[in-house]
Structure formats: structure tokens, C-alpha cells
Amino acid sequence: MIVDDHPFLREGVKAVIETQEDLAVVAEAESGEQALALYPTHLPDIVLMDLQMPGIGGVDTIAAMRSNWPHARIVVLTTYSGDAQALRALRAGAAGYLLKNTLRKELLDTIRSVHAGGKHLNAQVASSIAFHVIEDALTEREIGVLSLAASGNSNKQIAAKLAVSEETVKGHMKLIFAKLGASDRTHAVTIAAKRGIIEL
Amino acid sequence: MDGRTDDAATIGVWRGVRIDVAPRDAVSVEVMVASAGVFAHEIGRTRPGGGLGNLDTALGGAITRLRADGIFRAETGDVLTLSAPARPIHATTVLAIGLGDPAVWTPETIRQAVSTAARETIRIEATSAAFAPSLLDSGLDPDGLAGTPDAMLAGLFDALSDAPARMLSRWVFCVGAGRFETVVEVFRASFDRLAAP
């Protein structure tokens, strides 16, 4: 089953898969909600899952799918190489993580490896996950503050939305800069988006 | 990437696959698929040493990080494929093969691990591959490793018997550089014994 909100992407992946005698696409979904509805009907051996989709999004879909069907084998196929995004997907239960610029053969190898029970990651994504572990992870609150900053909110506006003082927000921002190695809020937003910590 | 390195010693050819032993590790061996055994934890150390330590370092600590996070538990039979690794790793694909708890290790464990690595190599149609057992790198006692060459060869033969390798032409067992000539002779004796009809 292919889960992606872009029909061209689904068509491209389907065309690659259907060149193989031992593989077939049994269902397509354009959202996480649709994927969860279709899964029990088709019980696919492998789910290829995008992360950035309207609605509940890829990571939550993976978590829900694995919760309902623990044997579901899910391979993330995404444009996002960020370590935080990848780690969330793997912790949610994804067995593979590939980038959309992956070569055709690697995609097919991954499908077969994961079907056989293995896990498959792009090595650079895996290294990125390991590299950032030495840093302090942002707390949920800090991620919330930074997401609001990324949406253009001032410290005062963030404080009002979170029902805290402006000084508290400034304190969060200071810690966020230190943890991300950022020089200012724009830099912090850029780093966090690139690593998949926040979504823009 | 034919799996033949200048310092490799050929111990035999079985079912069309040339089998070498080389004083290399999964980083430096020049093959398409480099595989390494990984225990669920090390004995008497906090991270693997030797060749497995080199591999983990070359991957930015990915193997030990993913293991610590439970994403790759390294239980017996677990397979983690890392595709398109950067230099200094020569291979285009790295396979980490779970060896389970080192406290209950037996030669049968390594037989199954080599078999698993070979089956995966055959599945992805690689032409050359290597396996580094990483037993000493994980803190196992060198005096307790009798029977390892027999077990590794038997594991390779298991896989080649079950799934003929249409593409695979080279298999390299990575070993330590110490007493290399002696190790090669042990592998040759094992090969002669196991490959005999």
C-alpha cells in the first residue's frame, strides 16, 4: 500500500513496484485517515508511508497502524532527512526510512528486506540520528514555543497563547538557542525545521 | 569491488563463490555488502572495540545509538541494513546482524548470523560481500571461540545451498591481523573438511 498525498508520487512508486513479478500495489491512500481505513481490508505486507500529509500526518498514522495491527511493516518514504523526524517515525514503529530520491533498486531491496523482517535505513539518516544524540533534546514545551515563533509570533504573543509570562518565553528561547547552537530565532527555526523538530 | 583485496587469502571456491579470508574490517574491505555481527551489548566495555568499533565510528555511532534506542535490538536474527554509507566505508551497503546475548554465545549463533547475512546478500543480488564476526570486538574471551571458522563456513554453505547465488562471486571473512597466516590455515582446514563431498 502506498500512502502519499501526491498522486504523481504514488503513480511513480507504483510504476516501479509493478515492474517486479513478486510485488503488487494492493491499495493507495492520500491521507493517514484513509490509510487506516483501507489497511484492514487489504492487510498489505508493506506500507510505504509519506510523513508530510494533511490530516493526522505520517508519524501519528504509523503509531495508530502499529497499535491496531502490531505486525504492520511500514517503510517511510519522505523528502525529509532530519534526524528528529526520522527518530519519531522509527520510535512509532517504522521498519524502514528512505528518502524520495532513493534509487529504484534500493526501494525494491528495502521492501523485500523489511518484508523478511529486517530494518532498513539510509546510512546518512542513521548517522544524523546518532550525531545529534549528544545534544540535549528540546522539551515538548520548547518545541511548542519554537513552533509558535516559526509562525511569526512575538515573545509577547507566544506568552499570551501559552498563558505564561513573557520572561518565561524568553527563558525558553534562550535554552532553545543553546540546545540548537542557534544565534537567533530565525536561525533556530531554520535548524529545527531542517532537522524535522518542527514543521513549517 | 570484487571482494579480492591484495592481502586476502583464498581458501576455496564453493558453488561458484570464491571464499577469501582477509585481515580487514567492515570499513576497509572492498565489497558491495559489508556485514558485521553485533551483540545486544558488550562484555566488559561500554562500546565495541576493534573493527566493529571502527564501523560504528564511521557511521557516526549509528549502530550503538539505534541499539540503545531499541530500534535495532541486535537479538539473534535481527538485521539492520544501512544503505549508501559515506566514506571511509567502501561498501555500498552495511548489514548489522544481531548476535543476541554474548553470555549465551555458541558457534551456532555465528553460523546463523553468517547464513542470515549471506541470504540477505543474495536477495539484493550483490556480487561481493564480507562478514566480520566482531566476537573479540565485543569482549568475548579468545580462548572460548573454538569452532568459529567451521561455524562461519557452515553458515555460508547453508545459505548457498538453499538459495543459489546467481550474482554473488566473492565472499570475504574479515579477521584480525594478528596470527593471520595461522587463521588462514584453520579456515583452509575447515573448508577442506566441510566442502568435501
Task: Say whether residue B72 is in contact with chain A using an 8 A CB cutoff.
Answer: yes
Among A132, A154, A176, where does a domain finish? A132
Sort out which chain A residues have CB atoms less than 8 A from B81's CB and list them: 109-110, 113, 118-121
Confidence at residue B44, expressed as pLDDT on a 0 to 100 scale: 84
pLDDT tens-digit profile of B69-110?
899 999 999 999 999 999 999 999 999 999 999 999 999 999
Q: Domain of A185? A: 135-194
Number of cross-chain residue pairs from A and B with Cβ atoms under 8 Å apart: 88
Same-domain pairing of A79 and A162: no
**CA B192 – CA A21 distance, rounded (Å):** 39
Give pLDDT < 70 ranges for chain A: 133-136
**What is the gyration radius of the CA atoms in chain B, in angstroms?**
15
**CA A118 – CA A47 distance, rounded (Å):** 14
Residue A200 placed within a domain: no
Cell numbers of B110, please? 555465528
Residue A52 placed within a domain: yes
Confidence at residue B3, expressed as pLDDT on a 0 to 100 scale: 47
Same-domain pairing of A85 and A150: no
Confidence at residue B28, expressed as pLDDT on a 0 to 100 scale: 94
Task: Say whether residue B161 is in contact with chain A using an 8 A CB cutoff.
Answer: no
Class of domain B11-176: alpha beta
pLDDT tens-digit profile of A148-185?
998 899 999 999 999 999 999 998 888 888 888 888 88
Confidence at residue B1, expressed as pLDDT on a 0 to 100 scale: 56
DSSP SS3 for A24 = coil
Q: CATH no. for residue A6?
A: 3.40.50.2300
**To the nearest whole percent, how much of chain B has pLDDT over 90?**
73
Residue B45 has pLDDT above 90, yes or no: no
Same-domain pairing of A144 and A48: no
Residue A199 placed within a domain: no
Same-domain pairing of A104 and A45: yes
Mean local confidence (pLDDT), B116-142: 91
Give the one of A119, A127, A130 whose C-beta lies nearest to B80's C-beta: A119
Confidence at residue A87, expressed as pLDDT on a 0 to 100 scale: 87
Confidence at residue A133, expressed as pLDDT on a 0 to 100 scale: 61
Cis before B88 (ω within 30): yes
Strands A2-3 and B79-83: unpaired
Same-domain pairing of A128 and A140: no
Mean local confidence (pLDDT), B141-155: 88
Confidence at residue A135, expressed as pLDDT on a 0 to 100 scale: 56
Nearest to A127 by CA among B54, B79, B65: B65
Max distance between CA atoms of chain A, in angstroms, equals: 62
DSSP SS3 for B178 = coil
| Burial environment of residue A98 by CB neighbours within 10 A (0 to 12, 13 to 18, 19 or more) | buried
Same-domain pairing of A169 and A71: no
Sort out which chain B residues have CB atoms less than 8 A from A107's CB and list them: none
**CA A5 – CA A194 distance, rounded (Å):** 21
Same-domain pairing of A123 and A142: no
Residue B14 has pLDDT above 60, yes or no: yes
| In B75-171, alpha helices (H) | 107-123, 148-162
**CA A161 – CA A87 distance, rounded (Å):** 29
DSSP string across A155-185 = HHHHHHHHTS-HHHHHHHHHHHHHHHT-SSH
Same-domain pairing of A110 and A148: no
Same-domain pairing of A42 and A124: yes
Sort out which chain B residues have CB atoms less than 8 A from A87's CB and list them: 69
Number of domains comprising chain A: 2
Spatial CB neighbours of A49, under 8 Å, sequence gap ≥ 6: A3, A4, A35, A58, A61, A62, A74, A75, A76, A77, A94
Confidence at residue A175, expressed as pLDDT on a 0 to 100 scale: 86
Confidence at residue A4, expressed as pLDDT on a 0 to 100 scale: 96
Spatial CB neighbours of A26, under 8 Å, sequence gap ≥ 6: A1, A42, A44
Q: CATH no. for residue A173?
A: 1.10.10.10
Cell numbers of A161, please? 497563547
Task: Say whether residue B194 is in contact with chain A using an 8 A CB cutoff.
Answer: no
Closest chain A CA to residue B58: A127
Same-domain pairing of A66 and A142: no
Confidence at residue A26, expressed as pLDDT on a 0 to 100 scale: 97
**CA B133 – CA B153 distance, rounded (Å):** 12
Among A91, A117, A132, where does a domain finish? A132
| Residue contact B61–A120, C-beta within 8 A | no
Residue B5 has pLDDT above 70, yes or no: no
pLDDT-derived band at B174 (thresholds 50, 70, 90) equals very high
